[in-house]
Chains A and B, each alone.
Chain A
Amino acid sequence: MKSEQSGIRFRAALPWAAGGTVFLMWGASRFWPAFSFGERAGRASFGMIREMAGILPVMFILVGLFEVWVPRKSIERFLGREAGWKAVPWLILLATVQAGPLYGAFPVAVGLARKGCSPRNVFIYLGAFSTLKIPLLTFEIGFLGLPFSLARVLISLPAFILVGVLVDRLVPGWTPPDFK
C-alpha cells in the first residue's frame, strides 16, 4: 500500500523535476558556455512553451464552449455509433480544416467523445488530424513535392482508419475521462 502511494507521488513529481532540470541546465550554460546542450535544451523548451501558449488557450476555450453549447444529439447523429461509416467523411473534413500539432487535437477529441462521438470515430479523428491537415500538406508539397504528398495521403487514409477500428476493438468500453 505504502510503496504504491510513493510510486504515485514519484510520478506526480517527475514532470516538475524534469522541468526544473532543464531550467537548471539552461542556467548552468549561462556560466559555462561549453555546455551548449543546456542552452539548446532551454531554448527549444522555451520555443515549445511559446508554441503551446499560442494554441492551447484557444483549444481549451473552444472545448469549454463546445461542452456547454453543442447539443449531444447533433454530434451523436453525425459521429455516433449509429452514423456508421457515414461519419468518416465528416471526421476527415473536421480534421483537415484544423491547424497545429496533434496535442492540440486531444482536448477536441475528448470534447467530441463527451458529446457522443463513438470511440472508433474518436481514434479515426486523431489519425486524420495527424496525417491530413491542410496547412501541413502545403508545407509538404512545397518541400517534398506533390507526388510524395499525394502518395502519403492516399496510402495513409486506409491505414489510420484501420488503426482507429483496431484501437476501438482492443480497448472495449472506452469512455473519455470527465476531468472532475
Chain B
Amino acid sequence: MIVLAVFTGAALAASLFADRRKTRAGLLFGARMFLKTLPALVLMVTAVGMILSALDPRFLEILFGGGGWMPFLAGLAVGTVALIPGFIAFPMAGLLRSNGVSTAVLAAFVTSLLMVGMVTLPLESRFFGRKAALWRNGLSLIAAAIVALAMSLVLK
C-alpha cells in the first residue's frame, strides 16, 4: 500500500510537470467518481461497524464448532456477511483452528470472506450495475462453497 501511495505521488508529480490541464481533468474525473460513490461508501461503513461489533471470536467458536453441515454453512454465512481485513481475519482463523475448528469450516469462512461481499454490494452496484454485482456475488458464493469442499478433501 505504501509502495502504491509513493508510486501515485510520483505519477501525479510527473503528470503535473507534463501537462497541467490534463492532470486537472484526470483529478476531476477521480473526484467525480468519488462523489458519486460516497453514499454507498457511507452505507458500507455503517454496515461494517455494526456487523464487526456484533461478531466476537468466542461467538464464532460456538458457531463453527461441532460436526455436521451446520458449522460449514455458518462459515459460509459469516464470511458472506462480514467484511474483515486480512490482518484481523487470518489471525482470527488461526486462533479458531487451534481451538478445534475443522479445515472445511475455516476454508468456507476464508473463501467466502474473500470472494463474496454482501456489505460492499451497494458500492459494487454503483460501480458495475446491480445486475452484474448480484450475479458476481451469487456465483462467487457458490464458487466459495465448492472451493471450500474441494479444499477439505485435498487437505484431509
Contact = CB atoms under 8 A, between A and B. Distances in A.
Interface of A: 12, 14-16, 18-19, 21-22, 37, 40-46, 48-49, 51-52, 54-56, 58, 60-69, 98-103, 106-107, 109-110, 122-123, 126-127, 130-131, 135-136, 139-140, 142-144, 147-148, 151-152, 155-156, 159-160, 162-163, 166-167, 170-171, 174, 176-177, 179-180
A52 B135 CA distance: 26
Interface of B: 1, 3-5, 8, 11-12, 15, 22-23, 25-34, 36-37, 39-50, 52-54, 83, 85-87, 90-91, 93-94, 97, 103, 106-107, 110-111, 114-115, 117, 120, 122-124, 126-129, 131-132, 135-136, 139-140, 143, 146-147, 150-151, 154-155
B29 A58 contact: no
18 contacts: A18-B47, A19-B45, A22-B45, A43-B49, A44-B50, A48-B49, A61-B12, A62-B4, A63-B33, A65-B23, A68-B26, A106-B37, A126-B136, A152-B107, A152-B151, A156-B143, A170-B135, A177-B126
B140 A52 contact: no
A21 B131 CA distance: 29
Nearest to B103: A148
Given A65-B12, A130-B114, A179-B29, A123 B136 contact: yes
Decide if the interface of chain A is mainly helix, strand, loop or mixed: helix
A48 B48 contact: yes
Contact of B115 (A131, A147, A167, A170): A131
B131 to A, nearest CB: 5
A24 B23 CA distance: 40
A37 B29 CA distance: 39
Given A62-B8, A151-B154, A152-B107, 7 more contacts: A18-B46, A99-B1, A103-B123, A106-B127, A106-B128, A179-B32, A179-B36
A106 B8 CA distance: 17
Given A15-B43, A62-B8, A143-B93, A44 B26 contact: no
A68 B24 CA distance: 9
Given A103-B120, A127-B115, A144-B97, A44 B23 contact: no
Which among A140, A159, A174, A180 has the highest number of chain B CB atoms within 10 Å? Answer: A159
B110 A140 contact: yes
A179 to B, nearest CB: 5
Contacts of A43: 49, 53
B42 A19 contact: yes
Contacts, number: 225
Contacts of B103: 148
A151 B106 contact: no
B48 A45 contact: yes
B104 to A, nearest CB: 11
Contact of A40 (B40, B52, B106, B107): B52
